[in-house]
């Protein structure tokens, strides 16, 4: 609200609303967060919301990300969030340095998971993960809509992290393109229809816009600022072998 008020040119509202936000954030941390970053209700949803909503300070955020990754691992990378946490849990993981755990959550096939419905032939998002049971029968408990948006909100993460297309200015007038490969995916095709035209990576930038392109897995971590037009990059990616992985008792 403070940011909206500033955009509208209001004089007093931004300061008042910003101060209110600070008080609410401080009160939440005092009541529900330990100094080290543990949240009183240790659920994946609680951690995901606190991380993505920017409630925690940097040290707490780092600890919260580690705890979220541990909870997701403990659940066997099956979904343990509801309508509030499911759209944010993958963002909270990848945003705190746990991209691998986010991909493991994305690619899990056992129910409940994002891909279990796909194994049952789904081409739409279901209202509940097990609208159709493993034996092919319809769940008899109700809430079995098979065209429902909420649990499919991971598509936002697919666009912004897997595909790497993210808005930096309103209308995608300036954008960031930074795909983050992982999870065994060998290719991805992502496009966004902005008000200026289609943006996609190999890379086509609409006229009148600019983009910062962060080349995925580039050995030198190269990023480039480009204008409109078509561009492509080809480069060798360092391969990793099984011997590079350190296995522990916590390895899934």
pLDDT tens-digit map of 212-233:
999 888 888 889 999 989 888 8
Mean pLDDT of 76-81: 95
Mean pLDDT of 100-124: 94
Query: In the chain, what are the domains?
Result: 33-155 (no CATH), 164-230 (2.60.420.10)
Structure tokens at 79: 């979904």
pLDDT tens-digit map of 237-251:
766 554 466 778 877
pTM of the model: 0.84
pLDDT at 201 over 80: no
Residue 175: phi and psi, rounded to 5, are -135, 165
Nearest CA-CA partner of 48 in 111, 125, 102: 102
pLDDT tens-digit map of 132-164:
999 999 999 878 888 887 777 888 999 999 999
Supply the DSSP string of 90-154, one letter for each residue. HHHHHTTT-HHHHHHHHH--SSSSSSHHHHTT-SS--SSTTSB-TTSPBPTTS---SS-SGGGGH
236 CB-near residues (< 8 Å, 6+ apart) = 219
Q: What does the H/E/C string look like for 202-230?
A: CCEECCCCEEEEECCCCCCCCEEEECCEE
- Report the C-alpha gap between 48 and 228 in whole angstroms: 36
Under the banding of pLDDT at 50, 70 and 90, the label for residue 200 is low
Under the banding of pLDDT at 50, 70 and 90, the label for residue 97 is very high
Mean pLDDT of 194-219: 83
pLDDT of residue 240: 54
pLDDT tens-digit map of 183-194:
988 888 888 888
- Are 51 and 92 in contact by the 8 Å Cβ rule? The answer is yes
- Report the C-alpha gap between 182 and 189 in whole angstroms: 14
């Amino acid at each position: 609200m403070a940011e909206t008020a500033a955009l509208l040119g209001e004089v007093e509202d931004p300061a008042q609303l910003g101060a209110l936000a600070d008080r609410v954030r401080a009160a939440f941390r005092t009541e529900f967060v330990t100094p080290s970053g543990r949240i009183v209700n240790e659920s994946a949803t609680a951690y995901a919301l606190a991380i993505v909503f920017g409630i925690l300070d940097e040290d707490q955020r780092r600890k919260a990300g580690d705890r979220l990754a541990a909870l997701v691992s403990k659940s066997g990378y099956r979904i343990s969030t509801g309508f509030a946490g499911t759209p944010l849990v993958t963002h909270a993981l990848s945003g705190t340095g746990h991209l691998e755990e986010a991909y493991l959550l994305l690619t899990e096939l056992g129910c409940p998971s994002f891909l279990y419905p796909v194994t049952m032939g789904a081409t739409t998002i279901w209202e509940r993960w097990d609208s159709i049971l493993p034996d092919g029968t319809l769940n008899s408990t109700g809430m079995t809509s098979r065209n429902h948006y909420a649990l499919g909100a991971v598509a936002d993460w697919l666009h912004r992290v897997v595909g790497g297309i993210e808005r930096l200015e309103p209308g995608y007038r300036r954008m960031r393109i930074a795909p983050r490969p992982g999870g065994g995916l060998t290719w991805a095709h992502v496009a966004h229809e902005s008000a200026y035209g289609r943006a996609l990576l190999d890379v086509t930038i609409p006229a009148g816009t600019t983009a910062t392109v962060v080349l995925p897995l580039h050995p030198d971590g190269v990023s480039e600022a480009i204008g409109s037009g078509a561009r492509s990059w080809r480069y060798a990616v360092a391969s990793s072998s099984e011997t590079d992985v350190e296995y522990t008792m916590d390895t899934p």
